[in-house]
Amino acid sequence: MDPLSDAIRKSGADAFVMYASSRDADMRYLTRFTTSDPFVYFKKPGENGVIIISQMETGRASRESPAAIMTRAEAGLPELLKKEKDPLQATAKMIAGQTGGHILVPPQFPVGLAQALGEVCTVSVDKGTVPSLRAKKTKPEIALMKEVQKITETAMGKAVALIRESKPKKGILYSNDKPLTAEQVKYTMHCHLLEHGCTAVDTIVSCGEDTAIPHMTGTGPLKADEPIVIDLFPVNEKTGYYADMTRTVVKGEPSRGIREMYDALREAKQLGISRVKSGVPGPDVHQAVVDFFAERGYESDTRGFIHNLGHGVGLQVHELPTVGPAGKKLAAGNVITIEPGLYYPGTGGVRLEDIGAVTAKGFDKFTQFSEELVL
């Protein structure tokens, strides 16, 4: 079964075409080739894909990619550039010359190139075939993601250890006689990740009032007796696969409100996990947690639980499937997060996030890290 070939045939197109660098998750998935420069990928129904790249990249591409390799010279680009002043027009004619008069492109295809292609062939837009393919992970992909998660948890452990070992002075946490900052905690985690071939951006280490804003990245000294939300989602640079996890901790004595929110949060996460298995609609899993929070007196609108229960993870940190109102049925091989959170301005916020694979029987949880609140 080849869903991409089926999509091409159903659209009436001659080929599927992408133009992007490997930073585009769909391109990396289809080609397994890594480069910061954009290149062409095309696939005709029932045939293997082909990538068109510069001569200097052919040796590396032949090692990395299962696709057939064609140089830009072989595709006729140098000759076209002699005739065309506009590089986009030349590229469009090169693509049309290899693919035919009707092509299917993904929604993120560059607009300028699509317009140039529209002058030489018919262009149709696909409705998400490749992201849907990516959503179902193979056993080797799941193994790669489990390895990233192990590294992530070790980095998280270093962050928690820093906070645990800190000393409160006048409401501020100190480490080695200096205020312990969000930046220092992030730096410690990022260094560990780099040592193990991973990188992370937009890491969250928020504290106190900032924790009521889910994606506030956090800055400055960390406070005693206040919630500290640590959300870490690194990528393995070699494989391109992500992991994702969140923990909330307090050094000192949390308020009663934070304790009660956290107790409800742990139960909500376990409830969500217990509802996961293939064939179950993502919206149903999300709604079960919404209903649970409502029974505990927590809202799910402009405050309280204000985001989806989870999301897919893979070559992007946020991808299909959605575990929320807009989601569809979960399928075996989906790798998702379950991450309930509660956010109240004036009180603070708490969030827990685990990652795992959907199976026919339930949820294969990758996350093995402690849920300890008070350090």
DSSP for 316-328 reads SSSEEEEESTT--
Q: What is the pLDDT of residue 296?
A: 97
**Cα 7 to Cα 36: distance, rounded to the nearest angstrom:** 28
Q: What DSSP character marks residue 280?
A: S
Tens-digit pLDDT profile for residues 29-47: 999 999 999 999 999 999 9
Q: What is the pLDDT of residue 146?
A: 98
Q: What DSSP character marks residue 262?
A: H
The crossing angle, in degrees rounded to 10, of helices 111-118 and 87-99 is 60
What are the contacts of 4-7 at 24+ separation with CB within 8 A? 4/43, 4/129, 4/130, 4/133, 5/43, 5/45, 5/46, 7/104, 7/126, 7/129
Q: What is the pLDDT of residue 1?
A: 67
**Cα 314 to Cα 137: distance, rounded to the nearest angstrom:** 8
Q: What is the pLDDT of residue 332?
A: 98
Are the CB atoms for 272 and 363 separated by under 8 Å?
no
Tens-digit pLDDT profile for residues 264-289: 999 999 999 999 999 999 999 999 99
**Cα 134 to Cα 313: distance, rounded to the nearest angstrom:** 10
170 exposure class (CB count in 10 Å sphere: 0-12, 13-18, 19+): exposed
pLDDT higher than threshold 90 for residue 158: yes
Share of the chain above pLDDT 90, in %: 99
Closest CA to 67 of 1, 117, 22, 101: 22
What is the average pLDDT across 66-71? 97
**Cα 201 to Cα 190: distance, rounded to the nearest angstrom:** 9
pLDDT higher than threshold 80 for residue 122: yes
Peptide bond into 321 cis (omega under 30): yes
Q: What is the pLDDT of residue 93?
A: 97
Tens-digit pLDDT profile for residues 175-232: 999 999 999 999 999 999 999 999 999 999 999 999 999 999 999 999 999 999 999 9
Mean pLDDT across the chain:
97
pLDDT band at 150 (very low <50, low <70, confident <90, very high): very high
Q: How many CB atoms lie within 10 A of CB 90?
A: 20
Q: What is the pLDDT of residue 85?
A: 87
Domains of the chain from N-terminus onward? 3-134 (3.40.350.10), 136-365 (3.90.230.10)
For residue 195, give Cα distances in angstroms to 155, 189, 230, 257.
10, 10, 20, 39
Provide the CA 246 distance to its chain's centre, in angstroms: 14
